[in-house]
Amino acid sequence: MRAFTYQRAQSPAEAAAAAQRTPGAKFIAGGTNLLDLMKLEIETPQHLIDVNGLALDKIEAISGGGLRIGALVRNTDLAADQRVRRDYAVLSRALLAGASAQLRNKATTAGNLLQRTRCPYFYDTNQPCNKRQPGSGCSAIGGYSRNHAILGASDACIATHPSDMAVAMQLLDATVETVKADGATRTIPIADFHRLPGSTPNVENALMPGELITGVVLPKPLGGVHVYRKVRDRASYAFALVSVAAVVLPDGSGRVALGGVAHKPWRVPAADASMPQGAKAVAEQLLAGAKPSAESAFKVPLVQRTLASILADVKKG
């Protein structure tokens, strides 16, 4: 790990201004991803801005029936909140499917959204990786690609986004609240927050330099049956090969989003519209344009079967 300077921010605006003012600065809260990357010298921040003291750790009801979740709310607390368990059960289930209890006790809402890929070539500094070193190439293309993207990938990157929580947030139409370096605030729809790789896979989200996430807003509850099913190589301590988040309403309509298949949580409006037509129609819309490698081709039928299983279980009650 390389040497760095450190400060404790006193306000969100101060933190954002300090990050823009100081080249190579990074925010740190739980540090469950950043510290690992620093030890491997994948991330080499020259300055760390500790945001743990910013009082962004509350879950509050808002007008209209939604919830505002502070950026520093720990994953354990968010999953256990009675309002989340009752009204946004898919989010609670997604959080509990991720990481371990120890990590969930430290990991924050904002940090979860900002997780970096777990692609083994990204973590191996001896291998070319456009996400780690733009322009160096993508070792996963033509390499070991079993866990990689089948949707939305590019010639520059086939990595997947690792978050379970973000898949549920995508399903729920959350919005991300931020403060910029000049003190101005803005909201970003979760659908626009994470980026597909294109030719710049190192640019992973819509944040501007120095911009700090202050919270996430959930709209009023959807109702219906909430399901989050994560298919992985082992029952714990593993990232999704495929995950499916779904809300099914009494009339058969609903929403569905996928994890483990793309550079961002994957949701297609046409798939939501196809929910009353059944799992086959929904899967066709979700998987349209899929381009798996020979090693990741199994993800296509895995999505189809997982979705069919979920909808059959919901129908049986």
**Numbered ranges of CATH 3.30.43.10 in the chain:** 5-52
**Domain boundaries for CATH 3.30.390.50 within the chain:** 225-316
Nearest to 268 by CA among 238, 244, 293, 301: 244
pLDDT at 1: 84
Residue 125's pLDDT is 96
Q: What is the pLDDT of residue 236?
A: 85
Count the residues in the chain: 317
Give the fold, CATH level 3, of 225-316: Enolase-like; domain 1 (3.30.390)
Map tokens 């120890």 to a residue.
102
Q: Which option is the CATH number for 5-52: 3.30.43.10, 3.40.50.720, 2.40.37.10, 3.40.50.300? A: 3.30.43.10
**Can you read off the two tokens belonging to residue 103?**
């990590």
Residue 73 CA: distances (Å) to CA of 13, 45, 104, 215, 273: 19, 24, 10, 9, 33
Q: What is the model's pLDDT at position 317? A: 83
**pLDDT at residue 18, as a whole number:** 97
Tell me which amino acid residue 286 is: L
The torsion angles phi and psi of 230, rounded to 5 degrees, stand at: -115, 120
Low-confidence ranges of the chain (pLDDT < 70): none
Is the overall model pTM greater than 0.75, yes or no?
yes
